[in-house]
Structure 1
Amino acid sequence: MEFQQKLPQNLKESLIFMGIISILSVNIIAPIITGLQMGFSIPHYLMAVHNMPFIWISVVALVVITQKPAERLSRRFLKQDSSFRSTMLINTICNVLLMSLVLTILCSWIGARNITMEPINHFFIKWPRNYAIALIVEALIAQPLARLAMSLMHRNTISD
C-alpha cells in the first residue's frame, strides 16, 4: 500500500514526480557545488542559475538513461520482501551514484561552456563531494517531497 500511495501510477504522475525531483535537485545541488568550487557569491550564484536550464535538461535525460541500470544495481542489494524505506534508500543511492558519475564531468563542461580534460583529471577529487551533496539532497529533500506530492495526489483521487 505504501508503494502505491507514494509512487507514480501512470505517465502523467511519473512526469510530475520526475519534474519535482529534478527541479528541486538542480536548484539546490548546482548552487552548492558551484559555491564550493568557486566561492559563495552573488555573481557565482547567478552564473549557476544561468546554467540551470541546460543542467536540468541533462539531468532529465540522464534519469531516463540510468533508470534501468540503477534498478538492476538496486536488485543486487534488496530482497523480495525489503521494506518500502529500504527500497527507496537503495534506489536513491544507486540512481545518484550512476548519475553523479556522469554529471560530475558533464556539469563542469556546461558551467565552463567548454569541453576540457580538467573535470576528468580532477574527477576523483570532486566526485565524492558531489556524490555526497547529491545523495543528501535527494534522500532528505527532493525524493521525500516528491513522494509527499504523490501521496497527496492519490489521497485526493481516493476521496473524490
Structure 2
Amino acid sequence: MKFFMRLPRNGREFALFLLVVSLISVNLIAPTVTCMELGFSPEAWGATYSAIVFVWVLVVACVVATKRPVEHVCAKVADEGDSYNMQVLLNIVVSVLFLSVLLTLLAPMVATGETLGHSAGEFVYRWPRNFGVALFVEALIAQPIARAVMNRYHLALDRRGASRTVEERA
C-alpha cells in the first residue's frame, strides 16, 4: 500500500515528484557544498544562487538520464519480498551514487565554467563530501517530503474518485 500511495504512479506524477525532490535538493545541496569549499559566509551562500537555475536544469536532466540505470541496479539488488523502506532506501542510495558522480563532474562546469579536466582532477576530494551531503538531504529531507506530497495527492485523488462514484450512483 505504501508503494501505491507514496510513490509516483505515472509520468505526470513522476514529474511532480521530481519537481519537489529536485527543488529541495538543489536549494540545500548546492549551497552547502559551495560553502564547504569557499567557507560558510553570506557571500559564498549568495554566490550559489546566481547559478542555481542552471544547476537545477542539470540535476533534472541527470535524474532523467539515470532513471533506468538506477531502476536496473535496484532490481538486481532487491528482492520482491523486501520491505518498502528497504527498497526506498536502496533507490535513494543508488540514485545518489549515480547522481553524485555525474554532478561532481558536471555541476562545477555549469556553475562556474570550470573545465572538465579541473573538475575531474578534484573529483577524488569533492565526491565523498558531495555524496555524503546529498545522501543526507535526499534520505532525510527531500524524498520524505516528496513522498508525503505524493501521499496527499493520492489521497485527494481517491477522495475525488469516491465522490464521483457517489454522484454517479445518485
Q: TM-score, length-normalised on structure 2?
A: 0.90
| Code of the aligned partner of 1:159 | R
Q: Please state how far the C-alpha of 1:80 moved relative to its aligned partner.
A: 1.2
Q: Please state how far the C-alpha of 1:21 moved relative to its aligned partner.
A: 0.2
| Code of the aligned partner of 1:35 | C
Aligned length: 160
| Code of the aligned partner of 1:69 | P
Q: Please state how far the C-alpha of 1:10 moved relative to its aligned partner.
A: 2.3
1:82 alignment partner in structure 2: 82
In the TM superposition, what whole-angstrom CA distance separates every residue of 1:39-98 from its partner, at most 9, and x where no partner exists?
Answer: 111121111011110000001001111011111111222111111100000001001100
2:103 alignment partner in structure 1: 103
Q: Please state how far the C-alpha of 1:116 moved relative to its aligned partner.
A: 4.7
| Code of the aligned partner of 1:123 | F
Output the CA distance in 2 between the equivalents of 1:111 and 1:65: 20
Q: Secondary structure in 2 aligned to 1:94?
A: helix
Output the CA distance in 1 between the equivalents of 2:134 and 2:32: 10
Q: Please state how far the C-alpha of 1:108 moved relative to its aligned partner.
A: 1.4
Is 1:59 paired with 2:59? yes
Superposed CA RMSD: 1.1
Larger radius of gyration: 2
After TM superposition, the structure 1 stretch with the greater mean CA deviation from structure 2, 103-112 or 92-101, is 103-112
Identity across aligned pairs (percent)?
35
| Code of the aligned partner of 2:145 | L
| Superposition misfits of 4+ residues, deviation over 2 angstroms | none
**Gapped runs of 5+ residues in structure 1?**
none
